[in-house]
Amino acid sequence: MATVTDWIEGARLRTLPAAAAPVIVGSAAAHYMGGFDAGRACLALVVALALQVGVNYANDYSDGIRGTDDNRQGPARLTGGGLAEPKTVLGAALGCFAVAGIAGLALVAISGTWWLIAAGAAAVVAAWFYTGGKHPYAYMGIGLSELMVFVFFGLLACVGTSWTQVQSAPWWLWVSASALGLLSVALLMANNIRDIPTDRASGKMTAAVRLGDRASRWVFAACVWVPVALIAVMGVAIGLHPLATCALGVGAAGWAAGVSLPVLTGASGRALIAVLRNTGFSTLAWALLAALALTLS
């Protein structure tokens, strides 16, 4: 029987900072535009975190029943490791999606942004068919997984959060959302680089498997370094003092160097678990730097 620790590990807490980051930036952007609402920001945070944990449990369930996780290098999964019954893990995933749905409905009812219901439903569908269904797109290796992560955990999460508080989405907000989307893609890429040997053996043809180890590592590096330039662009766009803008870039570059160096120097297997954690914290650090700039401008 799975312990509480097993369920916490299955929730993959190291991914949650990256889930919170777009909400932080979106809310800071709303503050900059004069429309911050703490209640709506909290509801958006519940949606983001519940959806992320739901994705993690759904991935655990779907990969587990396919046998993809039978010989993984990372921590044992609930389903694939035989720690919990598949239907229990599926129930946990659906429960998280339900929490995200309820919080999301409350948010759109309060804000009147009813079009976000369709966007939220699309996010849940994308989350399920990532590894679920007869033809999961995570197994195709055509970049669709990375695109979905970029759109839903970057663009939609950031711009959607801001839109529920102030109905405006200037171009610099899309730049910020794109940076967060790239950092989320980096998180996915780090996970898939670690799993290249076992994914290839199990027939899970991720983009990392198709690109190969070396190219995937350079893609990861690009995804963490481009946001360094984008935070400087955002600083200029909102009229931040040039010295403060440089400080933003230097801070973001420090985190980018810290997470990309191990990957570019060949870290593999369990060594990439730390990279996953640090990439999540790097995404959160980027968000906090951007939020600080927006609130002080």
Query: For the segment 112-121, what is each residue's pLDDT rounded down to a tens digit?
Result: 999 999 999 9
Give residue 158's pLDDT. 97
Give residue 69's pLDDT. 65
Q: What's the farthest any 2 CA atoms get from each other in the chain?
A: 56
Is residue 70's pLDDT more than 80? no
Which tokens hold the place of 124?
Answer: 């849940």
Name the CA dihedral angle for 219, 288, 236, 169, rounded to a multiple of 10 degrees. 90
Give residue 297's pLDDT. 82
Give residue 163's pLDDT. 96
The one-letter code for the residue type at 233 is V
The one-letter code for the residue type at 251 is G
Q: How confident is the model at residue 201 (pLDDT cuts 50, 70, 90)?
A: confident
Judged by average pLDDT, the poorest of 50-54, 70-74, 221-225, 227-231 is 70-74
Buried b (16+ CB within 10 A) or exposed e, 64-98: bbbebbeebebeebbbbbebbebebbbebbbebbe
Give residue 229's pLDDT. 97
- How many angstroms separate the CA atoms of 144 and 206, rounded? 10
Contact partners, residue 43, CB within 8 Å, separation at least 6: 103, 104, 106, 107, 110, 164
Give residue 67's pLDDT. 79
Which tokens hold the place of 232?
Answer: 């400087």
Give residue 77's pLDDT. 82
Give residue 64's pLDDT. 86
Is residue 281's pLDDT more than 80? yes
Give residue 73's pLDDT. 61
Give residue 244's pLDDT. 94
Average pLDDT of the chain to the nearest whole number: 92
Mean pLDDT of 192-198: 91
- How many angstroms separate the CA atoms of 136 and 36, rounded? 38
End-to-end CA distance of the chain: 52
Give residue 30's pLDDT. 97
Mean pLDDT of 17-43: 96
Give the distance, in angstroms, between the CA of residue 8 and the centroid of all CA atoms in the same chain: 18
Q: How confident is the model at residue 74 (pLDDT cuts 50, 70, 90)?
A: low
Helices 271-296 and 242-264 pack at an angle, to 10 degrees, of 170
- How many angstroms separate the CA atoms of 108 and 112, rounded? 5
> CA 125, 126, 131 angle in degrees (round to 5)?
105
Mean pLDDT of 226-248: 96
71 in Cβ contact with 43 (< 8 Å): no
